[in-house]
A and B are shown apart, each in its own frame.
Chain A
Amino acid sequence: MMIHQTRVSNANMMTLPEKLSRFLWGLFLPMCIVLGMSVMVLYSAGGGNWQPYAAPQLLKILLGFIVFFYVAFSNIKIWLKSAYLIYAVAFILIVLVTFVGDVGMGAQRWLNLGFMNVQPSEFIKIALVLALARYFAWMNSVELTVSKNYITPLMLTLVPFALIVAQPDLGTALSLMMIMFGMFYIVGAQKKWFIIVAILGVMAAPVVWFGGMHDYQRDRIITFVNPDYDARGTGYQINQAKIAFGSGGIFGKGYMQGTQSQQSFLPEKQTDFIFTMLGEEFGFIGAFILLMIYTWIILVLFWCAKTCKNRFGQLVCFGFMLNFFIYYFINISMVLGLLPTVGVPLPLMSFGGSSLLSLMFGFGLCQNAHINKDQQLSAKGS
């Protein structure tokens, strides 16, 4: 019996002022602060110029806000209904980028649309959260312990995972797996499955190492374990990044005073390595503040998930929280030399539109879920 499948009455439809009154400023504010920091650091990365990073990024942020507000104040059922469709679109983009995408560093990642480059692997992370939330939305506790109910979501993850591994974008691929495992765990999958998967994973590691990796990926991992292995190739970037970050000290070298970043010793300072630039110019204080704002966002998202009275909204908020945490944890660990260089941007900070827009879309969804937290949604989504 599915007692929770009660239809939503029109009486529960909210007007815009009602929605505004439920708007979660506690989630909106930290997002805006991080975006502000991003523009500030990118201005410095351009050597104290709006070009080539700060101004284009500002434009993308404005576009992001349009997406954000539209999604936040739209009818939540639109997203419930179109969850699979969005997933399908993101998936097709992944397929496209795998076969016709532009190659960088031995990886196919960009889809050149003529006017802009799209990185579909950024979109698929949000799309997967949405699809999984939709899938699990009406399962009861009994259904959630039945293993065959996990086959579909497993496939939803594994197929794009395989394509992204082939690109090969290891960072995004592993993020997808972590999102999936996180979602499975929180909805109530049996614990023994996780143990079995963990054992299988350990056993498969040698096969992946010798059979499934590109030379540059192996190099990165060897370099990670021993940075002196190739100090002028793979190791150069991470060595320079560490010097930049460490030399920032407690208070930093000052805005636009980072010698490493300003003198171009730090590669990718505007994208994946933007955290090191922040650390160099604003020191421990600056880096710590950003980490705390991120933590703030995580806690608010968790609170949203916990207080949401419909399962779809709860899972969207939780899934997005997972995604957001994985994003910045991998990125920061990577640039601080705690993880191999896998190529994941710093959320809301790194230069680039695909990651930014998919994140703004995600924040919009969570706002929407929070605004509609008292709504009850039927299985048909009608």
Chain B
Amino acid sequence: MIDIEVGHTFDRRSALFLTTGAVLTSVLILRMLQMQVFNYRDYKRKSENNSFRIQINMPERGKILSTEGIPISRDTPIYRIYIVPEESENVDELLVTLTHDLGLKQKTLKRIYAQMHKQQKFQAVLISEHTDWKNLARVSAKNLPGVHISAGYARVYEMGESGAHIFGYVGAPRVPVPNAPFFTTGILGLEKRFNDEMAGKPGQTVMLSNAVGRITGEDEEQFVEPQPGHDIKTTIRYDAQKVMYDALSNHQAGCGIALDVKTGDILAMTSAPGFDAGKFTGDDADDYVEKLRADYMKPFVNKTVEGLFPPGSTFKIIVALAALESGAITPNEQVFCPGYWDYGDRRYHCWEPRGHGHVNLAGALAHSCDIYFYRLALKIGIDAIRKMALKLGLQQKYLSDIFPKEMAGVIPDKYWKEKHVGANWVHGDTVISGIGQGFILTNCLQLAVMLARVVSNKVVVPRLILDDKKPVFKNLGLENKNIRFVLNGLEMVTQPGGTAAGSAINVDGAKMGGKTGTSQVRNISKAERATGVLTAGQLEWNKRNHGLFVGYAPIDNPRYVVCTITEHSGGSGPAARTTAAVMKTLLEGEK
């Protein structure tokens, strides 16, 4: 038998359970009454309208702004007309009607049919993107089943080809978003990197549709307003970017970077040829993309950070500084250049076959004497050169969060050669490293950073996005007098007798110094030859040397550094002229 006391507890306490049970059961009954009796009509209406159909409303995407606040990429409101094939009883007939009303071209129809063929029947097919009011009114008045009109935004790329690699573009995501046929996301560059900031929050319209799927109204309670995205402010100067791209395009292919020495702001960053992402939508999009893909000048490559080039003579700045810092030379020490130098069992040539005669450091930089730097390199050794190159920012990635394909390049030493070439480092390797050839590979951004660090004696780090903080750079720790010695040479480069005498500028007394470079074509042409058939004319182009120029201005208080690389331009002249044009724009725009 049950303990009497325990039995009493059961009897006493079970009352609580019975009460609770009765209360909870009553709650359920009341809820059932509320839903099925009192609110019956409301639910019945919703049930008759049957289902929700959700339409995602895209928010206005944030703008990409230049440093002056000019919109570079922005959204513009448009009306799209699209069809959902499944909802129409006769799609062909529908398209005939639409062709008549909207004046669709044959090409457009072809695209529509191709898309319908590719997609599921319930997926939207775009008929007309930038629809004008007249056509819109005509189509909407007919209220054709299967035809939808949606207000949305289209992305406008104000800079077109000149900014495509940097600012990027938006496009359809790889995985389609349900109920949002025109959902876009950042695909490249800043549009991709800052997609979350710019995208905003989509809203929704919940439409009620009846059993046969016809829209019968809107559920206003479930409407959600889309929230626009935030703007992104870049360091790019609109004017300089334009000028740089136009100048580069004149030389067909190349890339350039303009830096603000004080802040590391990237004022211009272009890669030519570019592409116009605005042409990626529409009927001609496929042809356009195909053309770009086939272009041997590689418009899709962002050459500023993805293109690796031997720095050529621009590297002499580094060799000179390394030598001065190590105390291996004094600036006035002279070297005799007869146009060649025999070392070991090889003869090394100067670019000037007649020779430069007796040259000191400044003269060797101004005239870009190879013999001087061959011998200097050998004197101080590859390790000292490499140390200085790394200190000045070479073989380093700066913007790989924005440009994942950024390449670090190569600043070699004996370990590197053993590992990657499988051979011992020989003196000859050091000799040609002195003029920036051999295994050395850099990109355009690195060379600009290099010169910015030299002229400022600060660890300049480039940036592409403006924020409120003014960057503070650490001291680089080079002897100011050594920098002065090198700059003395660089100032002479643009003066009569210098290698870029034709590119001198003078904006209210502000002059430019710099260094020319020509780099022998190795990697790029090899790669391109391997990729396919090239005509004789192209091969010719491909064989020509790259021209480089890194410049800074004004010479007495350097504020800007511009590095330009013109691919296969033969000499450095086009690069120097491009740099000069950009520098002029930068200096003039200050006023």
**A338 sits at the interface (CB 8 A):** yes
Given contacts A4-B1, A140-B5, A141-B6, contact A247 B54 (CB under 8 A): no
Q: Which of B1-51 contact A (CB under 8 A)?
A: 1-3, 5-6, 9-11, 13-14, 16-18, 21, 24-25, 27-29, 31-33, 35-37, 39-40, 42-44, 46-48, 50-51
A295 to chain B, nearest CB (A): 6
Residue A188 at the chain B interface, CB threshold 8 Å: yes
In the complex the two chains form, is A4's CB within 8 Å of B32's CB?
A: no
A250-B18 contact in complex given A228-B222, A287-B32, A314-B10, C-beta closer than 8 Å: no
Q: Which residues of B contact A4 (CB under 8 A)?
A: 1-3
Q: For B3, what are the chain A residues with a Cβ–Cβ distance below 8 Å?
A: 4, 140-141, 311
B204 within 8 A of A: yes
Interface residues of A in 300-326 (CB under 8 A from B): 302, 305-306, 309-311, 314, 318, 322, 325
User: B10 contacts which chain A residues (CB < 8 A)?
Assistant: 186-187, 305-306, 314, 318
When the two chains form their complex, are residues B6 and A140 in contact, meaning their CB atoms are under 8 A apart? Answer: yes
Contact status A291-B25, CB under 8 Å: yes
- How far is it, in angstroms, between the C-alpha of A182 and the C-alpha of B221 when the chains are bound? 41
The answer to whether A247 touches B28 (Cβ under 8 A) is: no
Closest chain B residue, CB of each to CB of A244: B47
* A284 pairs with B33, CB closer than 8 A: yes
The complex places the Cα of A309 from the Cα of B4 at a distance, in Å, of: 11
Closest residue to A298 on the B side, CB-wise?
A: B21
A305 to B3, CA, bound (A): 15
Which residues of chain A (127-145) have a CB below 8 Å from chain B?
139-141, 144
- Which segment, of A153-161, A213-221, A259-267, faces chain B? A259-267
Please judge, given known A-B contacts A4-B1, A329-B24, whether A246 and B35 are in contact too, CB under 8 Å: yes
Q: Name the A residues within 8 Å of B16 (CB-CB).
A: 185
The reply to whether the CB of A77 lies closer than 8 angstroms to some CB of chain B is no
CB neighbours (8 Å) of A284 from chain B are 32-33, 36-37
Bound CA–CA A322/B178 (angstroms): 44
Q: Does A274 contact B (CB under 8 A)?
A: no
Task: Indicate whether A314 sits within 8 Å of B27 (C-beta atoms), given known contacts A302-B18, A306-B10.
Answer: no
Instruction: Specify the main secondary structure of chain B where it touches its partner.
Output: helix
Interface: B211 (CB within 8 A): yes
Is the interface on chain A under 10, 10 to 19, 20 to 34, or 35 or more residues? 35 or more
Kindly state whether residue A243 has any CB partner on chain B within 8 Å. yes
Q: Is the interface of A mostly helix, strand, loop or mixed?
A: helix
The answer, yes or no, to whether A46 is at the interface (CB within 8 Å) is no
Whether the pair A231, B40 counts as a contact (CB closer than 8 A) is no
Are the C-beta atoms of A311 and B14 separated by less than 8 Å?
A: no
- Which one of B13, B29, B44, B51 contacts A247 once the chains associate, using CB atoms below 8 Å? B44
Cβ of A82 under 8 Å from chain B? no
- Give the distance in Å from the alpha carbon of A284 to the alpha carbon of B36 in the complex: 6
Is the beta-carbon distance between B43 and A187 smaller than 8 angstroms? Answer: no
Q: Which single member of A140, A247, A288 contacts B46 (CB below 8 Å)?
A: A247
Quick one: which of B1, B21, B32, B178 has the most chain A CB within 10 A?
Answer: B32
Which of B17, B43, B178, B179 touches A243 (beta carbons < 8 Å)? B43
Contact of A232 with B by CB under 8 A? yes
Q: Do the beta carbons of B204 and A231 come within 8 Å of each other? A: yes
Question: Known: A231-B52, A309-B1. Is A247-B40 also a contact (CB below 8 A)?
Answer: yes
Residue of B nearest to A144 (CB): B6
Nearest CB in chain B: distance from A232 CB, A: 5
- Complex Cα spacing A228 to B222, Å: 6
The answer to whether the Cβ of B258 comes within 8 Å of any Cβ in the partner chain is no
Chain B residue with the shortest CB-CB distance to A312: B2
Q: Say if the beta carbon of A359 comes within 8 Å of chain B.
A: no
Residue A120 is within 8 A (CB to CB) of chain B in the complex: no
Q: Closest approach, in angstroms, between the C-beta of B27 and any C-beta of chain A?
A: 7
Residue pair B2, A259 in contact (C-beta under 8 Å) = no
* Residues of A with C-beta under 8 A to B244: none
Q: A249-B44, A265-B50 in contact; A185/B13 too (CB < 8 A)?
A: yes
Across the A-B interface, the 6 shortest Cβ-Cβ residue pairs: A246-B43, A247-B47, A141-B5, A246-B35, A188-B9, A284-B36
* Contacts beyond the supplied A4-B2, A144-B9, A243-B47: 16 A-B pairs with Cβ under 8 Å: A141-B3, A141-B9, A185-B16, A186-B10, A186-B13, A243-B43, A245-B43, A247-B43, A247-B46, A249-B40, A260-B50, A263-B211, A288-B32, A295-B25, A309-B1, A333-B31
Residues of A at the B interface (CB closer than 8 Å) are 4, 139-141, 144, 182, 185-188, 228, 231-232, 236, 239, 242-250, 259-260, 263, 265, 279, 283-284, 287-288, 291, 295, 298, 302, 305-306, 309-311, 314, 318, 322, 325, 329, 332-333, 336, 338, 376
On B, residues with C-beta under 8 Å from A are 1-3, 5-6, 9-11, 13-14, 16-18, 21, 24-25, 27-29, 31-33, 35-37, 39-40, 42-44, 46-48, 50-52, 54, 178-179, 204, 206, 211, 221-222, 224
18 interchain pairs (CB within 8 A)? A4-B2, A141-B3, A232-B52, A242-B35, A242-B43, A246-B35, A246-B42, A246-B43, A249-B37, A260-B50, A265-B51, A279-B35, A284-B36, A284-B37, A288-B29, A291-B25, A306-B10, A306-B14
